[in-house]
Each structure stands twice: as C-alpha cells, then as structure tokens.
C-alpha cells in the first residue's frame, strides 16, 4: 500500500490496481501527479472549500479525459451533484451516499459513516478572543475564503470512509472527526462495525490530549496524521502542531502501532 499526501486533507491510497483519493484539493493535485490505476475512486468528506473546492477543475482538465471512464466519485448527494454537475463524470460513476451506506466499485467496498466537524474555536473565552482577533487581522484573506464558499454545499453531511480492498486490506479515513468534542459512543460504533488496519485523520493543537483515547478504541496497526488547516493557521498566525514530535509521543505510548506524520505535499 502506498499513501501520499497532497496538502490540506488531500490523500491518496494506492493498493494493487486501485487508487482511492480523499479530499483532493489545491495546486498539488494534477492528473500527472496522481498514480495511474485501473480504477480511481475519489471520496469527498464534506462541502467545505478546502475539501471539494477544486476537484471539479481536476475532472474537467483535458489531460484527464482518458481516465474519466474508470474514475468514480463517492460523497454525500449534494457534494457529488455539485462536483459532477454538467457531466463532469459519467452519471453511472457518481455515487451520492449517506451514513451507513456501502457501494462496491470494481471489487473495492466504500462504506460511509457520520462524524461531527472539529471545533473552529479553541476552548475558553480568552483563547477564543485571541483566535478571532488573529483571523480578523487579515480581512482580505478572510473575505476571499468566505467568497469561495458561497457556491459550495457547505451544509452537506460530513462523512468518513472505510475502504475494503479486494484482498481484504482495510483503511479508515476519519478526516476531521476525531477531536475533544467527539462522542465516545460514536467512535466505539465505528471501531465495532468498521475496523481497519490503517487509520487516517487530522489533528489540531487543541485536541492532542484526547487523541490517544480515540486511537486506543479504534486500535489500528498504522496511523497517518496530518494537519487539515495548517496553511490557514500559518496565514492567520495561529498555533499548530509539531506533528513529527507528536507522532513520536504517540509511538512511545502505543508500542504496537506505527505512527507517521504527513507534513508536506509529496510525503
């Protein structure tokens, strides 16, 4: 299995002749940078701009036309309709799914589950005020982000994805759903019904203390960590996680689990 990072929340998992892409967004995502595979499955977790804001441009690119017949899109109905509108993909290749639904594509099963988005503001009044002050100090960038969201399905359901490849290898992408406000019962249900060898999820600095609880419940063999909003945190001068140090701390605690930090596009 080959896992590559494209920045933000963008990841690809290549296994045998299948490539699964999650939330591919931004300048690093081009057909020439994506592995060629017999089957490409593109999964979008929700409708925020840094998740689904540029996938449509990828599908409409001239150099990808030959790959579209074997490229599939899986997301909530509103996100799938937005990205694939106007025939950007063959209609038979577009799957609008809800939580607890599963689709099978060329021998690979994709199961969706629901999660709640990580909080945008830190805990405590003073940290909240400082956070908002940092963001408001860059009004032009803030307005640009807001404008980019106007046409997107921002209220679409938030979905995680469990992938079962033809040989039984499993991957769970929890995206931005593991944080300090995540409900234990939710994670326990995912662990019970969608166990996986490999776990992918985003980490924010406010949630580092609770992450070990979720890792213990999900009990994967390998964990890949990334920071979903690092470019925005750097732009607004907000704190961020030292993922290299944090993954080492987790490795010291969970001796039987491998932790790997995804830091830069191309990792």
pLDDT tens string 156-170 = 999 999 999 999 999
Distance CA 160, CA 98 (A): 10
What's the mean per-residue pLDDT of the chain?
A: 93
Give the pLDDT band of residue 131 (cuts 50, 70, 90).
Answer: confident
Residue that wins the pLDDT comparison between 216 and 140: 216
pLDDT over 90 at 6, yes or no: yes
φ/ψ of 205, rounded to 5, equals: -60, -30
pLDDT over 90 at 124, yes or no: no
User: Quick check: is 13 in a domain?
Assistant: yes
User: Quick check: is 192 in a domain?
Assistant: yes
User: Quick check: is 165 in a domain?
Assistant: yes
Residues in Cβ contact with 134 at an 8 Å cutoff, skipping those fewer than 6 apart: 236, 237, 238
The percent of residues above 90 in pLDDT, for the chain, comes to 76
Q: Which two tokens stand for residue 230?
A: 């690092």
User: Quick check: is 266 in a domain?
Assistant: no
Number of domains composing the chain: 1
SS3 for the chain, per residue?
A: CEEEECCCCCEEEEECCEEEEECCCCCCCCHHHCCCCCEEEEECCCCCHHHHCCHHHHHHCHHHHHHHHHEEEEECHHHHHHHHHHHCCCHHHEEECCCCCEEEECCEEEEEEECCCCCCCCCCHHHHHHHHHHHHCCHHHHHHHHHHHCCCCCCCCCEEEEEECCCCCEEEEEECCCCCCCCHHHHHHHHHHCCCCEEEEECCHHHCCCHHHHHHHHCCCEEEEECCCHHHHHHCCCCCCCHHHHHHHHHHHCCCCEEEECCCCCC
The per-residue pLDDT for range 199-233, each reduced to its tens digit, is 999 999 999 999 999 999 999 999 999 999 888 88
- Give the residue carrying structure tokens 């945190």: 233
CA distances from 217 to 53, 81, 108, 129, 213 (A): 32, 34, 25, 34, 6
**pLDDT at 127 (0 to 100):** 76
CATH code of residue 177: 3.60.15.10
User: Quick check: is 267 in a domain?
Assistant: no
Domain that holds residue 251: 2-261
Give the pLDDT band of residue 147 (cuts 50, 70, 90).
Answer: confident
Checking DSSP bridges between strand 170-175 and strand 198-202, what pairing results, if any?
parallel
Distance CA 63, CA 158 (A): 30
Give the pLDDT band of residue 14 (cuts 50, 70, 90).
Answer: very high
User: Quick check: is 152 in a domain?
Assistant: yes
């Amino acid at each position: 299995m080959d896992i590559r990072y494209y920045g933000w929340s963008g990841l690809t998992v290549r296994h045998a002749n299948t490539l699964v892409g999650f939330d591919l967004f931004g300048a690093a995502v081009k057909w020439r940078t994506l592995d060629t595979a017999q089957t490409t499955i593109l999964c979008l977790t929700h409708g925020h701009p840094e998740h689904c804001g540029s996938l449509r441009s990828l599908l409409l690119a001239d150099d990808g036309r030959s790959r579209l017949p074997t490229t599939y899109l899986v997301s909530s109905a509103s996100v799938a309709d937005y990205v694939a509108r106007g025939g950007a993909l063959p209609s038979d290749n577009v799957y609008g799914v809800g939580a607890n639904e599963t689709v099978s594509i060329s021998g690979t099963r994709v199961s969706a589950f629901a999660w709640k988005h990580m909080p945008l503001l830190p805990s405590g009044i003073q940290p909240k005020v400082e956070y908002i002050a940092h963001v408001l100090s860059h009004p032009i960038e803030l307005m640009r982000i807001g404008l980019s969201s106007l046409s997107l399905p921002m209220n679409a359901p938030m979905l995680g994805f469990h992938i079962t490849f033809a040989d039984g290898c499993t991957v769970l992408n929890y995206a931005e759903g593991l944080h300090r406000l995540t409900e234990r019962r939710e994670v326990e249900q995912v662990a019970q019904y969608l166990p996986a060898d490999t776990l992918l999820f985003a980490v924010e600095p406010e949630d580092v203390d609770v992450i070990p609880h979720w890792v213990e419940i999900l009990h994967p063999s390998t964990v890949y960590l990334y920071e979903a909003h690092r470019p925005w945190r750097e732009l607004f001068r907000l704190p961020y996680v030292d993922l290299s140090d944090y993954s080492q701390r987790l490795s010291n605690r969970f001796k039987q689990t491998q932790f790997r930090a995804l830091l830069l596009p191309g990792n």
